[in-house]
Chains A and B, each alone.
Chain A
Amino acid sequence: MQLQIRLIIPLLLLATACQPPSQPVEIEFAVRYGAAAINCTSYDGEFALSDLRLYVADVHFLTLTGEAVPMQMLSRPPWQSGQVALIDLEDGEGECQNGSLQVNALINGVVPVGEYLGVEFTIGVPESLNHADPLRAQPPLTHTAMHWHWRSGYKFIRAGIRNSDDGIWLHLGSTRCEGVIGNLQGCAGSNRPQVRITPFDFRTELITFDLKVLFASADLFDGQIASCEMGPLDTACDGILDSLGLDPGSGNSFSSAAAFGKAAKQ
């Protein structure tokens, strides 16, 4: 008995020592149109926001040596499960028709205590959750506006800008899927953008999503509301996917999404 205790205590101590203490982290998101902030009701930067919701998963913090350390996402309903977070920067006002009144700009998690130089994450819903039965989904996957019933997955990004008859919007999601919903064999086009921002200090800086960059390839002043909803004939998609670092042909990420950047917190 005594021998056992003698063994167990040092083992316990060792185990605790091996588990490095962790620290809370928080990543804030903001939407921009060029350098300017953009929202659903003001047209200062030529356009008002018409939608801005996106899923974020697989967050990693980058150490000084470039090692990617996974952030443990906290469960914070209705915005975060342990695996995916919903960033919602529209408030249902003005041009944001059929939006939601609530907004969420934050992702919360914990990482081992340490010094970090940058952050990287995936835009989208992890594959195992993306094609599960939407009727039994848990937050933040419960929004009917975010589920893509037709394409049997989720809209990874809903983003749009509008001013009267001019504007454009994007619904991004996986394409060329096979199987049936609830039992999907997979999708040939993943279409999950990767974002890597370095250096990045989550205490003083925030992640920006610049819609001017996202929609740079589109003719925004032709009196039409253009759209990209991932159809093979959607010509508006190619440039948009490029700004997200996605190859339109394969749906693979070829670089960090250019439409994402950083800015100092106000």
Chain B
Amino acid sequence: MIRWMLAAAAIGLCGLLIWFWPADEYAWAVPEPYPIPAVPLDNPMSDTKVELGRWLFYDSRLSSNDSMSCASCHKQEFAFTDGLARSVGATGEVHPRGAMSLVNVAYASRLNWSNHLLDRLEIQALTPLFGETPIEMGMSGREGEIINLLRTDPRYKRLLPAAFPEDEDPYSILNAVRAMASFVRSIVSFSSPYDRYLAGERSALDASAERGMTLFFSERFECFHCHGGFNFTDSSTHANATVTSAGFHNNGLYNIAGTGAYPADNTGLYDLTGQRRDMGRFKAPSLRNITVSAPYMHDGSLTTLRAVLAHYARGGRLIEDGPLAGDGRLNPYRSEFVQGFEMTAEEEADLLAFLAALTDRSVLDEARFSSPFVKPGS
């Protein structure tokens, strides 16, 4: 009898647990064995937030002259970069650096090319929206206009209370950036030929790409020290991470007049720390989808992946004349991992084949990441 009662109680408890389990549990499109991203406790993922964030991400009314949205610099077909060496803001001002890919940015431990202080997309979103030097979307001092848009647009009037039901007044910059961050976090990609190869589909990589993979992870080429892990960057974390890596590296791109200096508008971490040793230190970006996100480096100064490989093979870039002249290989702040290597033509082709195998067509094509303002087929 007692045994029956205990069993009934256990079943009842399980039923209660299921009843109270959050119904809006977000389903990450992350296959085994990859970990799910770490998400700030105060902004859990939900489908409604992702939907709202997608509209906001593609809404050009979030710029001072209605000319650009987040997507203007983060275009899906270019793995959410813009194909430019340096991005251009709403007023035509050219940014010192190029737009970074947003694919798998949910796993980034630090955001931007060179800011060790920024680890949350909710805060990062404020820089393109409100930054002034350079002007990106140009909304500095115009937060009232954004809140007004949220309050009056029929779609936002519906979606904001639905996404933030606990808020008495959900029409805030806080909730707008929470939703945008949720959408951007949803852009995950683990369906490249390389991922399929790891999952057991041996034919996903051809012999050349397979050889390239071996070279990529070799001590001879050293690529993986900075571009390591499942996301091919050492600026990486996830929900179960015990260690967060947040690397910044000087890869010998410049060495102006032999002083170690980088161009004044692109000094890397040095701009924030003022420490000479941080000169030219930038984040190693994820290499996923790297073939579609040219040009390369923080300032887009290398136009092809062949040029990138040649740069690393030499162990730094030589600029022979002009105001930026100097031998990057001799930059005193250069990373110890940029040592240079001998590379045959076949090895170069193999490495390029491996890098191409990191491209996930699905994330470039999937409708759920595309502009909701554009009707399919139009």
Chain A residues close to B by CB (< 8 Å): 98-100, 133-136, 142-145, 147, 149-152, 171, 175-182, 184, 188-189, 227, 229, 231-233
Contacts and interface: CB of A to CB of B under 8 A. Distances in A.
Contacts of A134: 123, 126
Interface in B100-143: 115-120, 122-123, 126-127, 129-133, 139-143
A179 B173 CA distance: 24
B119 A135 contact: no
Interface string B35-55: 000000000000000000000
Contact of B140 (A135, A145, A176, A232): A145
A63 B73 CA distance: 58
Nearest to B127: A149
Contact of A144 (B119, B139, B271): B139
Contacts of A150: 115, 127, 131, 272
A142 B143 CA distance: 10
A184 B115 CA distance: 13
A177 B126 contact: no
Contacts of A189: 274
B66 to A, nearest CB: 16
B117 A98 contact: no
Interface in B233-288: 264, 267, 270-275
Contacts of A144: 126, 129-130, 139-143, 173
Interface residues of B, number: 31
A179 B174 contact: no
B117 A135 contact: no
Contacts of A147: 126, 130
Contacts of A175: 272, 274
A226 to B, nearest CB: 13
B139 A152 contact: no
Given A143-B141, A145-B141, 7 more contacts: A134-B123, A135-B126, A144-B140, A149-B131, A171-B133, A180-B117, A233-B267
A123 B123 CA distance: 25
A99 B264 contact: no
Closest 10 CB pairs of A and B: A145-B141, A232-B274, A144-B130, A149-B126, A152-B117, A135-B174, A180-B119, A98-B141, A149-B127, A144-B143
B141 A135 contact: no
B91 to A, nearest CB: 11
Contacts of B174: 135-136
